[in-house]
Amino acid sequence: MPTVRNWQLGREMSYPYDARFPSRQFAFVFNINRCIACQSCTMACKSTWTFNKGQEHMWWANVETKPYGGYPQWWDARILARLEEANPAGQVWGGAPADARFGPYGVFEGTTIFEAAATTLTPDSARVLGYLPADDEWNAPNIYEDNPVGKRGVRNQLDPTGEQLPEHKTWFFYLARICNHCSYPACLAACPRKAIYKRPEDGIVLLDQAECRGYRKCVEACPYKKSMYRGNTRTSEKCIACFPRVEGTDPETGGEPMETRCMAACIGQIRMQGLVQIAADGTWAEDRQNPLYYLVHVAKVALPLYPQFGTQPNGYYIPPRWVPRPYLRQMFGPGVDQAIDSYVNPSRELLAVLQLFRRSNRIIDRYEIQEGPKVYEGSLRGRKVELFNDTVIAFGRSGREIFRTTIEEPIHVRTNAHANSI
Amino acid sequence: MPYADPESDDPQELVGVELPGSEAQTREMAAAFAEEFAQLGYTRAQILALYRRAEYAGAHRAWRLLGEDQIVRVVDESLAVWGRIRRVVIDAPACGAPDPPTWVRRRS
């Protein structure tokens, strides 16, 4: 099996195909600290792409409650367990985090889903360690999570608490997920028909419906379970990253690349999506003023989801600051402590870049900061807080300005009765 | 929550297992939500509604575990810092408009 370089793992790994990299890569950052599971993203995707007969169980975008929720049910627990079986007590990280684009989180010393397949699966043609979820695991995306419903027979009224069973007394956080459009896609690796391909212009992973024969190898292989089988067409389908919008062919934007439906619908403003430049070796090319590059490689507040699977996912998450660290380290790797420390004590630039989230449906290619005066200095729960009236300017792919955001101090207007009372 | 009442003799009946938690984690979660939404420009009433409404189960869980008084204190602390400023967004004009730009839309 060929060897490829995985910068998230800080090492080479085996993969069924030679490495091929797009010139730009579809990528996104989700700030989970803000997500309240309103499911606007879920419904935006559903109402755009998966509303047809045979797609009832399909949620290309979903939000699930961690640690006990998941769609399909237990997707991460099941693949983590299979990897643990393949490499008992060996799924650990070593080395030291590097201040480089290759191996920023140290070196993963365990086994990826591709490497585990070589040692645990038969026949030899099996390429990826995975599992096929049962039908009932797909059927109810948020079953037994936290959505309150009404009492039986009572219409238009929610139950005030919603529980009948013992309630968890632990943390909550909501994990919003779409296809990660991985650099080393497991779905692509597993497809015996070569029906799945990665576009050279933007790294979006697509599934050719004309070539697919519904073997469901991609469904079995994707560790994030974002490839789904459609019974009435007997083919599999997956997130297409709203590629007409990303291409900039929507007339609304005049040729500017546009963010996907799930990103644009996010009322909690947790999402930012873009296209990052890829270097010849597969790492992100240095692009200091790209907001995604800044969040992932400079501020290091955004981390890949389960990087140990080995697919080099292109979805990144700012981890929730209140959640126990061992759980987060398992989910996002060893960069968690630094990410949360940076997020809780943000630099002036990070505070500015966070203002770019969801201010426009255009893809931000570059940002600039015009520094302004300090408007506040104080403390909040023991932390020093400084606020500056900085203006952050976002530019699109064409180089044109999209918007700018700044701070406005409150203006108090005297009433007519007291207009001249100074 | 299932619609039907539990049936103790049903072998398929759902069994709930409670995960333990700590007040410190809950307090941190409550503070995180308050700070995030104060930064987004939400008002005191809007943020408190987030905690009081059962639909937003994470924030609502904190409200139920910590109580109204503690949640109000957390929200007020956050607004004392982040609520003192207002961020405004100024959209650039659409393509084809005269350059240098004349601002066409202002949001807050």
The interface predicted TM-score of the complex, written ipTM, equals: 0.86
Is A409 in Cβ contact with B85 (below 8 Å)? yes
Query: pLDDT at residue B51 above 50?
Result: yes
Start-to-end CA distance of chain B, whole Å, equals 39
pLDDT per position as a tens digit, A325-383: 999 999 999 999 999 999 999 999 999 999 999 999 999 999 999 999 998 999 999 99
Tell me, yes or no, whether A45 lies in a domain: yes
What integer pLDDT is reported at residue A63 of this predicted model? Answer: 95
Break chain B into its structural domains and give their ranges. 21-108
Q: Is residue A259 part of a domain?
A: yes
Top residue of B50, B85, B105, B107 to mutate, by most chain A CBs within 10 Å, is B85
Q: Which domain holds residue A179?
A: 3-342
**Overall number of domains in chain A:** 1
Is residue A394 situated within a structural domain? no
Contact call for residues A277 and A292 (beta carbons, < 8 A): no
Question: What is the distance between the alpha carbons of residues A372 and A180, in angstroms, rounded to a whole number?
Answer: 37
Q: From B27, which residue of chain A is nearest by alpha-carbon distance?
A: A322
pLDDT for the residue numbered B99: 47
Residue B65 sits at the chain A interface (C-beta within 8 Å)? yes
Within-domain flag for A375: no
Q: Nearest Cβ partner of B19 from A36, A168, A402?
A: A168
The whole-number average pLDDT for the span B80-107 is 68
Q: Give the Cα separation of A17 and A185 in Å (integer).
A: 10
The answer to whether the Cβ–Cβ distance between A147 and B57 falls below 8 Å is: yes
Q: What is the DSSP string of A191-240?
A: -TT--EEE-TTT--EEE-TTT-----HHHHH-TT--EEEETTTTEEEE--
List, for residues A328-342, the tens digit of each pLDDT value: 999 999 999 999 999
The CATH number assigned to the domain holding A146 equals 3.30.70.20
| Residue A99 is assigned to a structural domain of this protein | yes
